[in-house]
Each structure stands twice: as structure tokens, then as C-alpha cells.
A and B are shown apart, each in its own frame.
Chain A
């Protein structure tokens, strides 16, 4: 029976080794890297590659809301039921803007909400890292770096060797389930 590997994790005893390992992983070309720490560590911000997918999703949501509102108002006021209101043009965009703004906000926040759930893997209730029994220490005094199997240059053997060179307490395979 073959196990599905989600990633390879290394456990570190102090934040300095974790940051060094993260920098090395970045320099080695790994992109799907995540660090888990008991408290925020400033230097990690630059060391961990930015994989945030939420901002573009929210932006696209906002843009869709903006266009949806304009299309809807244009269809209603110009095509479906044109009424002359005090001589104003049918495509009376200054008064459309209020709805366009509202739908921009509405769509952006719905996309942010659904996007957050989707990116967190909902409806899955837990994170693969919790399959490691030692991971409970991450809220205490241990620092974890995980290179995920989805990384383009991930290789179960090579990545494990790579992390073992970083002077960790232990290197572990993280199971998918």
C-alpha cells in the first residue's frame, strides 16, 4: 500500500535555525514552503515565498461586481424599460455609480469569504500538519518548516536530505491523511 505524502517537515529547536533553513529552501528554489511558529518572526516574512492567492481573487470579485451592476442598470434603464426622467440621458451613469460601488463591495467580500474557505481546503476540517504527533509542540517551543509535495521541484528523498542538512531536531514525512 502506498502512502500519499503531503510534504516533508523539519522540526527546529530555535527560531534562528528555522529562518536559516527557510532562506536556504528559498535559495534552493523551493516555492511551496510554509513555516509554523509559536509566535510571529519578522525575518520569515522575507524568507517565505509569497503564495497568497486571496488578493487577486478579491480584486476580481470587486471588478465583477462593478461590471455586473453597470450591466444590470444599463439593461434595465436603457434596453428593457427606458423612461425619460426629467430629460436626463437613459444611460445616466452618475446615478448608477452608487449601485456599482455597493455591488463592488458585496462581490469582493463574498469572494473573500468563499475564497478563504476554498483556499483553506474546506470542507476538510483539519490540516495535514496535525498528522504529526510532535506538531502539538508548535504552540509551545518548537519551530517547523514544511516543504509541500505540490512544489515543482519536490522529491521525497532529495527534499528529506536537503532538510536533514539544515541541522533540524528531526525530519518527518507528513501524510496526506
Chain B
């Protein structure tokens, strides 16, 4: 059966042009940041890692949400699918952006210093795993897996536009894809972020990143939906009911993040072991503690209470405000994860912490809008699209 959906929704003209200012801003900020890198290469790599973790989290979280919606269905997934797919298709670009981190290995990671490793028993035992060749080899493996799934998911989804129903095939690839996603993100977050502190380990770390990435991706999708819902043709399609569903999912992610972050703290608090608490000490007993408190308040308490309200979730405007807070806190969270490793005495903000993430973000958004303008805004061949769109009067 060929698709018979009446609309062929294309990206509205003004959004189609957004890639250009994004790219200009990104490249401009990158140039400024590179100048900063000459004066303070260490700070540059730290800021770069923090910004990179945010944007790749957005791309990977989007891929995970695409796979979740292929397995579960639902109107929210039909209307957001193309936005999420465009975000996941930035993964090849993010693979290129990973290269600078390779030049920063010795500036970032203690395990790359052989003299340090030789003096430290724990690190000596970790060395067969945590060393530069294996670090690079694993990174290549992660990207091969991620880009493979992004490619296949996109290809079959586009085929659905032309020849109709591919639900079963898409579900068949999504199930192993999600399992591999959780494993690869666990390994990658261990390599890239957990190993910043020499002895630190936490078994919940990978899931914390999985949930954070899902949260980031959902926030981004809601913002894009709010933008699209104010413009033809998506203004005909996206309804309060869709925002209501997305808001409920957002509440779930906020609670899950709080649950996992608290579980990690509770276990470390109860254990009180000398290998674990050094991660929390600078983040708790110095001025970094205020950043942690801000995370509790603005990434959990306030969004949680606000998202309990039904009218708030149904209005794109109010929901976007909550999402804005959460996206800002995602940056703060990564700032709090990465930076205290290097400034254990207290809070330090460097201007590169701001310019580098925005430089990556500008370029990332340009690639994203380019991808989004290449495809119809709705999966017009999906078998449940009529239902997802027409059941949405309210």
C-alpha cells in the first residue's frame, strides 16, 4: 500500500534558513575559542569535553527515543519522529568532532600519564583497559555501532514514506539497538567522563548518562515541536494532547534522573569508602556544593512540581519554559560532573566553558536543520499516522 496522507509537510521557510546563523555563530565562537586554546589548552579541552558530552548526549538520546517509539508506538512518537531522526543523523558529524578530544587525552585523563600510573596500585591494575590505544579503539567501536543504527533506522523510516508500513522491521532493529545503546553509552560514559577522576567508580554511572541523554533529547524535541506548532503545516497537526503526552514523559525522565542521581549519592554516603567519596567531596563541601544544590532544585524539585499540572503540560508556551530550565540545567549538570575534577578547591568558571559548548552547538544545530529540511516533517507512510493526527482534536 502506498501512503495516502493528504499533507506533504515541509519545514517552514524561516526555520529552513536557521542553519546559516547557527553555523556562523558556531564557527565564530569556535574561532574565538581556538584563540583561547593557545593561551590555555588544558581549559579548552575541559570545556570541549563538557560541551561535547552535552551535544552527543542530545544526538544519542534522540536515537534512543526513536527506537523506543518504534517499539511502543503512540501519537507523541509519530509527531516527534522526524525531529528526533534529524538529531540522531548528526552522529557522523559528532564522530568528526570527537577528534579534538584525542589531542586532549593527556590534558584530561590521569591514566594517560605513565608516571602517575606506575606509582598507583589501583591505576596500575586498570592500565590494561584504560590506555590510549584501547580508549581510541573503543571510541571507534562506539561510533561504528551508533552510526550503523542511525543509518538503518533512517533508511527504513524513509522507505516507509514511499511504500508504507515498515513497523515490524523498524521494531526488529530497535530492540537490539536499544540494548546495544545502553551498553555502549555505559562504556563510553565510563571512558570519557567517569575516568576523569583516577579512582572513582560507580555502577549506576552509565544509566545516569542514559537517562540524562533521554531527558536532553526530549527537551529538545519539545522545543522544536513548540516552534513547529506555531507554523504551517504542523500547526494543523500538533495539538495540546501531544504536548500533554510529551510533558508526561518529561516528568518521568525528571523523576528517573533524580532517582538514579540520589541512588548513587546514597550508596556512596552509606559506604563512605576512600575510593568513592573523593568524587563527592569537592562537589559537596566546597563552593561546588551550591552548583549541586542548584541541580537538586532546578533539575528536580521545581520541574517536578510544575510538571504535575495538567494545563501547564498542555500549553506549548508554559511547557517550553520548564524545558528551558531543564536544558540549562543539563549544561550545569555536565559542568558539575566534569569541572570539579580539575578545581577541587572550589567553583571556577572560565569563559571557555561558555564559548566552546555554544561553538559546538551552533555547528550542531546547522547540521540538524540541514537534516530536518531534507525530509517531510511527518512520517507520512506510518500506519498509525492518521490515528495519531486525527485523534488529536482536543
Contact = CB atoms under 8 A, between A and B. Distances in A.
B267 to A, nearest CB: 10
Interface in A49-99: 86-88, 92, 94-95, 97-98
A2 B266 CA distance: 66
A88 B272 CA distance: 9
B148 interface: no
Contacts, number: 16
A72 to B, nearest CB: 19
Nearest to B271: A86
How many A residues touch the partner, as a band?
under 10
A39 B266 CA distance: 49
A42 interface: yes
A59 B133 CA distance: 55
B265 A94 contact: yes
Contacts of B266: 94-95, 97-98
A87 B269 CA distance: 11
Nearest to A55: B308
Contact of A86 (B262, B265, B272, B394): B272
B349 interface: no
A87 B394 CA distance: 57
Interface string B268-304: 0110100000000000000000000000000000000
B270 A97 contact: no
Nearest to A97: B262
Contacts of A95: 266, 269-270
A47 to B, nearest CB: 14
Contacts of B262: 94, 97
A95 B266 CA distance: 6
Contacts of A88: 269, 272
Contacts of A92: 269
B351 to A, nearest CB: 34
A42 B272 CA distance: 56
B277 to A, nearest CB: 11
B272 A94 contact: no
B394 to A, nearest CB: 7
Interface in B67-86: none
A94 B269 CA distance: 7
B259 to A, nearest CB: 9
9 contacts: A86-B272, A87-B272, A88-B272, A92-B269, A94-B262, A94-B266, A94-B269, A95-B266, A97-B266
Top 10 closest pairs, chain A to chain B, by CB: A94-B269, A86-B272, A94-B266, A94-B265, A95-B269, A95-B270, A95-B266, A97-B262, A42-B394, A88-B272
Interface of A: 42, 86-88, 92, 94-95, 97-98
Given A88-B269, A97-B262, A97-B266, 13 more contacts: A42-B394, A86-B272, A87-B272, A88-B272, A92-B269, A94-B262, A94-B265, A94-B266, A94-B269, A95-B266, A95-B269, A95-B270, A98-B266
